[in-house]
Every structure is written in C-alpha cells, then in structure tokens.
Structure 1
Amino acid sequence: MEDKRPQFGNRILENVDEVFKHNAWDNVQWNADQEKAAAEKVELNSTVTFSEDRLKDLEENANKHWDAFYDIHQNRFFKDRHWLFTEFPELAPDFNSAPVRVFPDGESKQSTPDRIKHNDEDAHNSKRYIFEIGCGVGNTIFPILQYSQDPNLFIYGCDFSSKAIEIMKQNELYDTKRCEVFVLDATSSDWQVPFAENSLDIIVLIFVLSAIDPTKMTNVIEHIYKYLRPGGLVVFRDYGRYDLAQLRFKKGRCISDNFYARGDNTMVYFFTQEEISNLFKNVGFVEEQNLIDRRLQVNRGKMLTMYRVWIQAKYRKP
C-alpha cells in the first residue's frame, strides 16, 4: 500500500527570487564563496581564546552553569520536536502519522524502524529499552511516551544538571511505570546507572555530544557501546561545522578549535561528518547513516536568511 503521509525534506529552493516565499528550505547547497566566507568568520572568532583560569572555571563548574540555564528557562524551550519521528521513526515504530523523510540524492536512506525482534510474537512479549543521554527536561522523552502506545516500552534518561532532572520529575507526563530519569555526568569513567551492560535497544544523543569537551567524547561513546545490546542502535543529531550558531560567536568565546562557550557559560562544539564517523567507528560501531542537513531558515518579517547546518547519523552495535 502506498504511503500517503506528507513528505518532509523536499522543499528545494530553485529560484533565489522566491527565497521569502516559505519559512524554510531543505538541502540548501553552499557555493565556494559561502564556504570560504564561513571559514574566514570562524578563523576570525577563534583568534582570542580563554585564559587557563577561565577554562578551569568552565570545566569545574559546568554542572552549575547548566543548572542556572534550566533555572532560567525551566521548560520553556524546544517544546515541539515535531521532526523527531520523521528523522528517527525507530523511537516510536507504532506511530504512523509523522511525515516521511525525503533524502537528497546520494544520501543515506532511512533505515527500517527497528522492531527489535524479528517476529511479531517476540516483539509483543519483550521489553524495549531506550536511553537518552542529556535528556534535559524531557523534550524528547515525553513525545515518545505520548506517541508510542507500546506497553513494553521503557525509557531511561540522564542529564548532567540536577535542576533539569528535578523539573522533569515535576512534569505531569512523568510516569515512573514507563520512564526513569537520573543525574549522570556522561564523561565520568564509571557510570552508575540502573541498567545492565548489553541491555539497551536504542541510545539517543540529540544536541548533547556538542556540549562535551572533545577530549572526553571517546569515553562517552565507549560507554554507549558497552550498554547497548548487540544489534542496538545509536541515533544522533547535532551541530555541524559553519552552522549559524558558530558564525555568530564573537572574539573571546573560543575554547579550542570549533569549541566555544556561550554567554551563559554552557559549551558547544561544531562537528564535521568525518569526525562523527571516526568517533563511532573507532569504538566498533557500524555506520548506517551519516548525513549533513543544510537548512535555510527565513524570517519573512525581517527579511533575514539564516543558514543552519546539522549532522544526523545512526550507528549500530554489531
């Protein structure tokens, strides 16, 4: 039966004169001049870096900075992750109303939603475990719980910020029969977690690895590999090199190459596809998807164009 769901990812800007016709355009290709201008901007905003004392404060008080962030914003951000089930149908394979993702020619195609078991009887009787690292206040976990009716689904979540976990537990959608969240520094050498090694079906990394010091990223990926079951999946989405957020940094916010501290002292790294590929494959993962999502967002009121660059990937534990 032909899929009648709306498609996502095929709004292509073919005539630049029509740029303000829509709020966003998909798969926008950059020309050499744009790439060069972005590289020059990054070089310029990286010339002044933090002092050793300032870096020490950023690292030692990172949890306090994130607590302050959640204290200010509470749960008033990232409210509608409507793209979640279009990009990652594996998260709620029983939810069939999300738009179908259309990929540009030559990119990795969407993998079939992971049913975990190969026959329906086993799938019906077995528990399905998802773990989100950097769950914040539940902007990924709550939609999964809302849109998936799978009675065997259980979701774990962790965050560096105790404030975020506290806010999430106070939400009326927080159901201890279906989810459990806890405080965890994912960069630590020994994870204290409520599940066994080789037990998780899916681990979610959405805009979280970028908040971690690049020197500690491999340690995080090694732990992910340890706790995923054989055949388990990592779904990943994060900031790409030359994203608008990187180009907007002023001098004096740079920590190291492509790694910055925002004004609120939270940190952010901007990846290339190759870096993500190497991080996961060097630990033993098999790459199923690694694509760059270039989006042109338009503010029609102010007549502004904003180029976003995200990297999306999926990695399977053999």
Structure 2
Amino acid sequence: MAAPSEEALPQPRRPFGRRLLTDPARLFQHNAWDNVEWSEEQEASAKSKVQENSSQLLPPDKQEEYEVNAKRYWDDFYKIHENGFFKDRHWLFTEFPELAPNRNPSQNEDSVREHSYKEESNNAGLGSCENGHCSLETRAENQLNLIKSTPTFCTEELAPQKRSEVNQSYGDYPGSSASYRILEVGCGAGNTVFPILQTNNDPGLFVYCCDFSTTAVDLVQNNAEYDSSRCFAFVHDLCNDQSPFPMPDESLDVVILIFVLSAILPEKMQCIVNRLSRLLKPGGMILLRDYGRYDLAQLRFKKGQCLSDNFYVRGDGTRVYFFTQDELDDLFTRAGLEKIQNLVDRRLQVNRGKQMTMYRVWIQCKYQKPAAPQP
C-alpha cells in the first residue's frame, strides 16, 4: 500500500488566538475570529445598551430574595440540565498549562484558544458559575467527617501563628499525600474536573472540586469517571466564612475559577478571593476565566433584570456580573497575589447557517502567590 502523499496527510490546525479577520469578505468562512477590535461606534452602542438595561433596578426585597434562594435556583438548574448542558473544557490545557501533566510554568500572554461554543455562548451562564452563595448542606458535614479535626471557625482574622496551629489540626486529610493539588471552585457537573483527571496522569495529582449546589456535586460523584483515590468532591458555601475547607492553608498548587466569581454578590467577592488566596502554597496560582464588560450576554438583558451596576439576574433566577480587567486586578492584588496574566479575549462568533455575528468578551487571569522568602 502506497504511503499517502504529502497533500493527503492531515494538516495541523491553525492555533486559535491567531485566527484574525483581515478581510471582511471572509467573515463567514469560520465559526469564530479572535482578537476582534471594536470600533468607537460599537463601543458607544454597547455602553448605551448597558445604560438602558440598567436604568431600572430590581427593588431591594426582590434582590434579597435572589440572594437567599440562590442555592435553590442552581439546584433547579442542574436538576433540569444534569450533565448535558456544557461541553467538557479540554481547551483548559492550552490556556492553562499548569493543569497539564508536565505542568509547564511558561506563560503565553497572547494565547487565546478555542473554547466550547455551546458552553460560552449560552446566555444561561457557565455551569461552574453557581458557587459562592449561602447555605452549607448537612451533606457537606457528612463528607467532611473524614477530617473531624477540621476547625469550623473562620481563620481570616487570626494571626499567622494561630492559623498555623489551626492547620496542624488537619492531620491526614483527603489528598494529604499528594504532591500536586488542584481545587476547582464551582465544579458544576464536572466539565473541568473530568478532563483534568483524564488528561493528567501524574501519580502525585489530587483534584478537589466543590460547588454549593448539592445536585451538582451529586452529578460529579455519580459520574463513572469519578475516582475517589484522585478526587474529592464536596459541597461548600464560599460566602459563609464559617464553612471549613477539607484542606489546610498553603496546601494547594492551583485554584481554578471558571465563570464562577461572576455569580457571586459583588460585595462578597473580596472576602472569597482572600480565603482562596490563603489556601495557595507560596508560588501557587489562581486561574480565572469569566465574563467581560459588554459581552453579548450583558447587552441582551432587558430592563427589570439589573440588580446593581453590571450585575443581573437571568430568567431562571441565577445571577451574573460582568468584569473589567482593573476590577479583577484589584481583587487579586488586594489578596496579596501578583499578576502573571490579565487579558481580554474579544471573540467574534459566527452562525454561518443564520448569517449572524455575536461579539463575546471574556477575561482570563493568572495570579500567583509570592514565593516564600529565602532564609
């Protein structure tokens, strides 16, 4: 049998992040174009739409209702969609090589790669957004009795020496023997966790994943790919600083926030980032991808759905915030982290069948805990 000709061999796909629309006549040749520059008119139109859809705020009693019932709305979301709403995020290993088996630390500032169209273009929000509201389930207490010595008080206001004493009480906790520990906050149905477990066969890897939706954690634990020797899924309420984590401070190499922070009440974000920062080892990193200001999802909101500036409630009761780079930089630097990456991904997505264009705006960040000073 003759060898295939050079022309017949499959050609390597052009990397995403470098598919640039230089000829408007080619607009519908691809499903997406990267690093799309907005005109002054487009920017002004986006600002005008946001001013219009935020001109009427929901009354305080309705806003309080969405906060109090946040968990129920996300439980309902996963009861309806289960694990069929979002595609697995295999793009993570291109954007965040820290998750790959070789844990390549090199940073690629202009790397803007392929993302699941179904995942990021849906106005219902990303499946991992649900974490970060209030009501720790009894089930979490049952899961965490593996670590009965875990303190149930918040360590945020404790002096470093006292926090060190608290950490020593953890003893043999889930993943304590691992050499590389990852926590995904707001794991949803596992669309990030399972690609990591499938792709990264490092024997020293241990992955924690949490969500404050009990239904979501059930989906993860009942997945055929769930391996309790490599993964620990647990219910957790990030907004309740009395909720214990199953691992001590300074034990994690990576914390992942994929479309999660945007679902949290804005005034609670800083405390949450502070808590997560303390979990990182010196040199550990938070990896984030979330909604950017003037994303298509923000422009589609109508009057009567705005809770506060750039913070909205969807039709299903879940909520979403739209960030600027400066806002995220402020949150992370105030938590003592150093910027490695903070970029805007402006994507032009194309529906060739309907001849429609959709402008998406996402922000991607990497912030690192400073290394411990050398003696």
Match of 1:292 in 2: 344
Answer yes or no: is 1:68 the counterpart of 2:80. no
Percent of residue pairs identical: 55
Give the letter aligned to residue 299 of structure 1. Answer: N
> Offset at 1:56?
1.3
Partners of 1:163 and 1:214 in 2: how far apart? 24
Where in structure 2 are there 5+ consecutive unaligned residues?
Answer: 1-11, 113-176, 371-375
Match of 1:262 in 2: 314
SS in 1 for 2:326: helix
Please say which structure displays the higher CA radius of gyration.
2
Match of 2:166 in 1: none
Give the letter aligned to residue 78 of structure 2. Answer: Y
> Offset at 1:52?
1.7
Given that residues 286 and 316 in structure 1 are in contact (C-alpha distance below 8 angstroms), is that contact kept between their aligned partners in structure 2?
A: yes
Moved over 3 A (4+): 93-96
Match of 1:113 in 2: none
Give the letter aligned to residue 103 of structure 1. Answer: D
Match of 1:15 in 2: 23
Distance change >3 Å, CA 238–CA 317, structure 1 → 2: same
Answer yes or no: is 1:31 the counterpart of 2:83. no
The CA RMSD over aligned residues, in Å, is 1.9
Partners of 1:104 and 1:195 in 2: how far apart? 32
Match of 1:103 in 2: 110
Q: TM-score, normalising length from structure 2?
A: 0.75
> Offset at 1:101?
6.5
> Offset at 1:95?
8.4
Give the letter aligned to residue 23 of structure 2. Answer: N
Give the letter aligned to residue 72 of structure 1. Answer: I
Q: TM-score, normalising length from structure 1?
A: 0.89
Give the letter aligned to residue 48 of structure 1. Answer: Q
SS in 2 for 1:230: strand
Distance change >3 Å, CA 23–CA 6, structure 1 → 2: closer
> Offset at 1:82?
2.9
Equivalent runs, 1:1-318 vs 2, <5 Å? 7-94=15-102, 103=110, 127-318=179-370
> Offset at 1:5?
8.3
Give the letter aligned to residue 316 of structure 1. Answer: Q
> Offset at 1:155?
0.3
Given that residues 180 and 206 in structure 2 are in contact (C-alpha distance below 8 angstroms), is that contact kept between their aligned partners in structure 1?
A: yes
Give the letter aligned to residue 100 of structure 2. Answer: A
Where in structure 1 are there 5+ consecutive unaligned residues?
Answer: 106-124
Given that residues 127 and 152 in structure 1 are in contact (C-alpha distance below 8 angstroms), is that contact kept between their aligned partners in structure 2?
A: yes
Partners of 1:149 and 1:5 in 2: how far apart? 25
Partners of 1:204 and 1:79 in 2: how far apart? 17
SS in 1 for 2:55: coil
> Offset at 1:18?
1.2
Give the letter aligned to residue 288 of structure 1. Answer: I
